[in-house]
Structure 1
């Protein structure tokens, strides 16, 4: 994963001189979060913010970078009915990502793109035996792949629909279906 991070930083430094032609953006996003761990899956709501910029290339193509900070309501709890107060919960925590986007314009107001990059998510395990609560958290490194569609409402605002697949260490993965409202500046 460190190789991907170094390659991403190197690519960003290469693109920075051309940033004068870049279109910066920020967006708020929400959608379905389907998390799989050890062959079982749970669904919840994902929400967060992303920021980045797109650099136009020739022929209507563009390349961009995007950083995301998100969280999720996805949670799975089990209880032992024979032990009063016994409860074990696994919850997703924050999700950080840095991706590169490559796409093309479709007409004057639309873009189609694919994305790929690095992601890091947190899982929290909580055990409550009725008198004591124990919490443990772990971070998982992984990769993210996806595709999306962006529609410009006007010169400053856009709507976006995006699919993201993330695969982490320890047989942990997630699928996201995201919708976003963003602003360009």
Structure 2
């Protein structure tokens, strides 16, 4: 987390002297992001039955995103964004029960305020889905399957234009992927770079 914050500060400082168009946050963009992921899973009801996990796991995550910004007022930016992520060593286990998220995608709306022409503070909210492998070993052998965990996510961050086309951002997200009475909470700290078309 400290490394992510330090990297964002360095990127923002390096961009201070660069001339940037006021329109950088208006139009389509695509980018990549990396960061820290923390999953906390309770006792989910999966395709192979209820799995007693009640544990958490930290992991490295990375992925790509695409979106569209529209300036609806001189300092107000609204937009939509979709993303895809995978994580490394993110399986959450307890004993002989394992939930291993394979990949995640999300769709969300963003609303931001331009502090100046280069700095956007924003919030987001939307839908998130995580596809996971599940495994449980018992007296009768090992059961394996796949399942979808979906729910809502919220978050916010700061995005800084480095040039007329490139921006960097740091963001926090919280996701609730549990069903009725289930626990699947996800926290993310992300550092991203975007190219604006």
1:158 alignment partner in structure 2: 167
State the shift of 1:77 in Å. Answer: 4.1
> 1:42 maps to what in 2?
57
Deviation at 1:63, TM superposition (A): 0.2
Alpha-carbon separation, structure 1, partners of 2:128 and 2:62: 15
TM-score (norm 1): 0.77
1:120 equivalent in alignment to 2:129: yes
1:65-76 maps to which residues of 2 (within 5 A)?
65-73=80-88, 74-76=90-92
* Cα RMSD (Å): 2.0
The higher relative CO (CA closer than 8 Å, separation ≥ 6) is in: 2
Higher-helix-fraction structure: 1
The answer for the alignment partner of 2:78 in structure 1 is 63
Q: What's the CA shift for 1:154? A: 0.2
* Residue 147 of structure 2, aligned match among 138, 161, 174: 138
Matched, 1:27 2:31: yes
Stretches (4+) displaced over 4 A: none
C-alpha contact 2:166 2:194 (8 A) present in aligned 1: yes
CA distance in 2, matches of 1:76, 1:167: 16
Of 54, 78, 101, 1:92 maps to: 101
Partner of 2:17: none
Distance in 2 of aligned mates of 1:156 and 1:128: 51
- Report the Cα offset of residue 182 of structure 1: 1.2
Structure 1's unaligned 5+ residue stretches are 1-20, 80-86
CA distance in 2, matches of 1:28, 1:59: 27
Partner of 2:50: none
Cα distance between partner residues in 2 of 1:133 and 1:27 = 40
